[in-house]
Amino acid sequence: MRNVGDPRPWRLLLVIPLAISFLLFALPQAYFIAASFHENLGYGRVGEDWTLVNYAKVFTDPLYVGALFKTIGLAALTAAICLALGFPVSYVIARMTSRRKATLIGFLVAAMFITPVVKDLGLIILLSQNGVVNQALSYVAKPVAWLGSEAGVVVGLVHYTLPLIVLLLGTVISTVPRSLEEAAHAHGASRARVFYGVIIPIVKPGMIAATLMVFNLAMGAFTTPALLGGGRVLTFPILIQRSVILDVDYPFAASLSTILLVSVFCLNVLAGYLMTRQGQFRGSRPTPVALAPKAA
Amino acid sequence: MLAETIRRRLAYALVLCVFVFLVSPLIVVSASSFDSGAYFAARFPPQTFGLKWYQEIPPRYWSALYVSLTAASIASLISGSLGVLAALGIVRGKLPGVEWLRSFFRIPLQIPLVVTGVVFLQFYYALQLAFGVTLAATLPGLIVAYVFVGMPYAVGTVGSMLERLNPRLDEASAILGCSRWRTFWWVTFPIIRPSIIAGMLYGFIVAFGDVPLSIFLSSPSYTTLPVEIFNTLQFDFNPSVLSISTLIAATSVVSLWMIQRLVGLDMLPR
């Protein structure tokens, strides 16, 4: 009998996809980042000498520095809203057992994969000056100029990322056995104590990962801020697109992209570092296993 | 007990609100696309009913739809096949450091699509200067970029199916005297086939709806449908954009329904 478990023939299969991925990723990306260190000569031509002039231009212009902070701020707000809305929803869905659960997951996946242009078109109609949302608001408050403002962009980004975080948190929450919660309840823990002492410590790593994923998605989002911001909310991805389409300045677009990638990467590392440090502090406190019943 | 009931009701109310929020834009778009009386702006709720804006979809939308459909379907076939090879190599190759390999194949999902778009555009210009091949604003150019972003989905769906596969099946087939190739073709492949189709469909949906990549890799005369809609929304509104958007959304929903029938929606990559 031939050796069934031999993994070596399977490894050969990796050659073609690896080569193609490498060709499509490493080579263009390296060329692109290298271009950000050269001067733009106009008409898509790039200078010979190495220079930092593009980066200097970004960091001395308040427009670009402000846009970077605005992009980070909008993405952070989006991630926070998504976590606050998404956690209870995914908890309810994760604890469902009926066929309704499959239907709801189907809705979420559909909402996630339908192209942002179509979803944004719907949001534009809903949020327009005389749209349904403002008509409903008119009974209690002044109409809000959603379109072309940060408020509209955040609504759009939340709409864009919410299905993903609900799906991700759902898989994380389903790993917490129901019996664990019931045991804590049986020993007299209050609802809040079960939540903070049992559920949160278990789901925390997954929760952080999901929130960061939403943050990254919102940082890199282009279609939604472009359509709902109406050209007045300039996030970094929009500036990248403008510097290519309007200014035909590739080295500058490359430096903007590099800054976007590096800042996303650094913020993720920083978040991970802060969370692990906090985790060490938490470690010295009573673990969920030692959850003591409240003194009667 | 009353507090428990109220809490439960509140939780369900929140779930309902979130789903209404998620689904409402799609309902609005499809409902107002049937409003024949609307001319300068979409009306919701619609006041008339008719198929006027479906009949008056301008030809440029149809040609853009054709570009999108060809590019996305060819790209999804290629990215699906490459994804199968990669998934087989990752899961069965049992290489040391396989986690790095997995992350390598996930990279396209981590880079903002705008950045990928600019990278490809510049790469295509460099190729044009060096070899004289034109890839920007051509079908092959779009396909290459779509293959890049679609591959992680195929690797993800096929990989998770392969991991669930019972290794005893391969052993049984070998004991019965099947060659390695016959085992793959008659045992493994039929089992993983749904996941291959699902991976291709995910790649198709992502490519079919893409704006940030295609906006760089298209020209005014050669463009994809989402980019065409994006431009319409930015510069001039026309009610037929509602009807073509409804058709796009319907295509995605049908594809997702097919994925659900094939493998279920819980095998989502990422």
Domains and CATH numbers, chain B: 59-237 (1.10.3720.10)
Burial B21-58 (b: 16+ CB within 10 A, else e): bbebbbebbbbbbbbbebeeebbbebeeeeebbbeebe
The rounded mean pLDDT for chain A is 83
Q: Are B174 and B183 in contact (CB under 8 A)?
A: yes
Please report, rounded to a whole number, the percentage of residues in chain A having pLDDT higher than 70: 90
Write phi, then psi, for A5 (nearest 5 degrees). Answer: -75, 0
Confidence of residue A282 (pLDDT cuts 50, 70, 90): very low
Chain A, nearest residue to B116 by Cα: A29
Q: Is A117 on the interface with B (CB under 8 A)?
A: yes
Query: Mutation test of the interface with chain A: which of B118, B162, B178, B224, choosing the one with the most A Cβ atoms within 10 A?
Result: B118
Q: Give the distance from residue B112's alpha carbon to the nearest chain A alpha carbon, in angstroms.
A: 5
Predicted confidence (pLDDT) at residue A81 exceeds the cutoff of 80: yes
Instruction: Answer with the residue of higher pLDDT: B222 or A49.
Output: B222
Q: Is A14 on the interface with B (CB under 8 A)?
A: yes
Say how far apart CA B259 and CA B255 lie, in whole Å.
Answer: 6
Q: Where are the alpha helices (DSSP H) in chain B?
A: 2-33, 52-55, 59-93, 98-110, 113-131, 139-164, 167-175, 180-183, 189-208, 225-235, 240-262
Query: Mutation test of the interface with chain A: which of B122, B247, B251, choosing the one with the most A Cβ atoms within 10 A?
Result: B122
Neighbour-count burial of A183, counting CB atoms closer than 10 A to its CB (0-12 exposed, 13-18 middle, 19+ buried): middle
Give the DSSP letter of residue B209: T
CB atoms within 10 A of CB A12: 12
CB contact under 8 A, B252 and A18: no
Q: Is A11 on the interface with B (CB under 8 A)?
A: yes
Q: Are A157 and A72 in contact (CB under 8 A)?
A: no
Among B19, B26, B47, B59, CA closest to B240: B59
Q: Is A42 on the interface with B (CB under 8 A)?
A: no
Question: Could you read off the pLDDT of A61-80 as tens digits, one per residue?
Answer: 888 999 999 999 999 999 99
Among A94, A92, A104, CA closest to A175: A94
Structure tokens of A48?
């010979």
Say how far apart CA B199 and CA B193 lie, in whole Å.
Answer: 10
Residues of A within 8 A of B159 (CB-CB) are: none
Confidence of residue A42 (pLDDT cuts 50, 70, 90): low
pTM of the model: 0.86
CB atoms within 10 A of CB A188: 13
Among A82, A93, A222, CA closest to A165: A82
Residue type, position B135, single letter: L
> Closest to A260 (Cβ–Cβ): which among B12, B32, B115?
B115
Helix (H) or strand (E) holding A45: strand A45-50
> Closest to A89 (Cβ–Cβ): which among B15, B107, B208?
B15
Helix (H) or strand (E) holding A49: strand A45-50
Structure tokens of A205?
């790593």
Mean pLDDT of the A282-296 span: 36
Residue owning tokens 């299905």: A163
| Chain A to chain B Cβ contacts (< 8 Å) | 257
Indicate if the alpha-carbon torsion angle A47, B108, A213, A267 is positive or negative: negative
Q: Is A133 on the interface with B (CB under 8 A)?
A: no
CB contact under 8 A, B123 and A114: no
Say how far apart CA A205 and CA A210 lie, in whole Å.
Answer: 9
Residues of A within 8 A of B171 (CB-CB) are: 4
Tell me how far CA of residue A141 lies from CA of A22, A94, A123, A136, B267, in angstroms.
55, 36, 20, 9, 44
Task: Report the complex ipTM.
Answer: 0.85
Neighbour-count burial of B168, counting CB atoms closer than 10 A to its CB (0-12 exposed, 13-18 middle, 19+ buried): exposed
Residues of A within 8 A of B82 (CB-CB) are: 16-17, 20
Tell me how far CA of residue B135 lies from CA of A44, A101, A248, A257, B179, in angstroms.
16, 45, 18, 22, 42
Among A251, A69, A42, A55, CA closest to A150: A69
Q: Give the distance from residue B150's alpha carbon to the nearest chain A alpha carbon, in angstroms.
A: 11
Q: Are A175 and A202 in contact (CB under 8 A)?
A: yes
Question: Could you read off the pLDDT of A31-40 as tens digits, one per residue?
Answer: 888 888 888 7
Say how far apart CA A39 and CA B251 lie, in whole Å.
Answer: 45
Measured torsion, CA atoms of residues B102, A78, B233, B235, in degrees rounded to the nearest 10: -110
* Range ranked top by mean pLDDT from A171-175, A270-274, B47-51: A171-175
CB atoms within 10 A of CB A241: 21
Q: Give the distance from residue B140's alpha carbon to the nearest chain A alpha carbon, in angstroms.
A: 13
**Which own/partner contact pairs does B52-61 have at CB distance under 8 Å and 24+ positions apart?**
B53/B239, B53/B240, B53/B242, B53/B243, B54/B240, B54/B243, B56/B240, B57/B240, B57/B243, B57/B244, B58/B238, B58/B240, B60/B228, B61/B225, B61/B228, B61/B240, B61/B244
Question: Could you read off the pLDDT of A198-247 as tens digits, one per residue?
Answer: 888 888 888 888 898 899 999 999 999 999 988 888 999 999 999 888 88
Residues of B within 8 A of A21 (CB-CB) are: 86, 104-105, 107, 148, 151
Beta bridge partners of A40: A46
Predicted confidence (pLDDT) at residue A281 exceeds the cutoff of 70: no
> Closest to B174 (Cβ–Cβ): which among A4, A9, A260?
A4
* Range ranked top by mean pLDDT from A48-52, A153-157, B118-122, B204-208: A153-157
Question: Could you read off the pLDDT of A90-148 as tens digits, one per residue?
Answer: 999 888 877 788 888 888 888 888 889 999 999 998 888 888 888 888 888 787 888 88
Indicate if the alpha-carbon torsion angle B131, B136, B142, B145 is positive or negative: positive
Mean pLDDT of the A156-166 span: 92
Q: Give the distance from residue A92's alpha carbon to the nearest chain B alpha carbon, in angstroms.
A: 7
pLDDT at A292: 34
Q: Give the distance from residue A177's alpha carbon to the nearest chain B alpha carbon, in angstroms.
A: 19
Q: Are A213 and B270 in contact (CB under 8 A)?
A: yes
Chain A, nearest residue to B231 by Cα: A227
pLDDT at A283: 40
pLDDT at B39: 67
CB contact under 8 A, B270 and A216: no
Per-residue pLDDT of chain B (270 residues), as tens digits, is 678 889 888 888 999 999 999 999 999 998 888 887 766 666 677 777 777 778 878 888 899 999 999 999 999 999 999 999 999 998 888 888 788 888 888 888 888 999 999 999 988 888 888 888 888 888 999 999 999 999 998 998 888 888 888 888 888 888 888 888 888 888 888 888 888 888 888 888 889 889 999 999 988 888 999 999 998 888 877 888 888 999 889 988 888 888 778 776 655 544
Chain A (50-79) residues lying within 8 Å, Cβ to Cβ, of chain B: none
Say how far apart CA A156 and CA A118 lie, in whole Å.
Answer: 12
Q: Give the distance from residue A223's alpha carbon to the nearest chain B alpha carbon, in angstroms.
A: 7
Indicate if the alpha-carbon torsion angle A242, A246, A248, A252 is positive or negative: negative
Distance between terminal CA atoms of chain B?
40
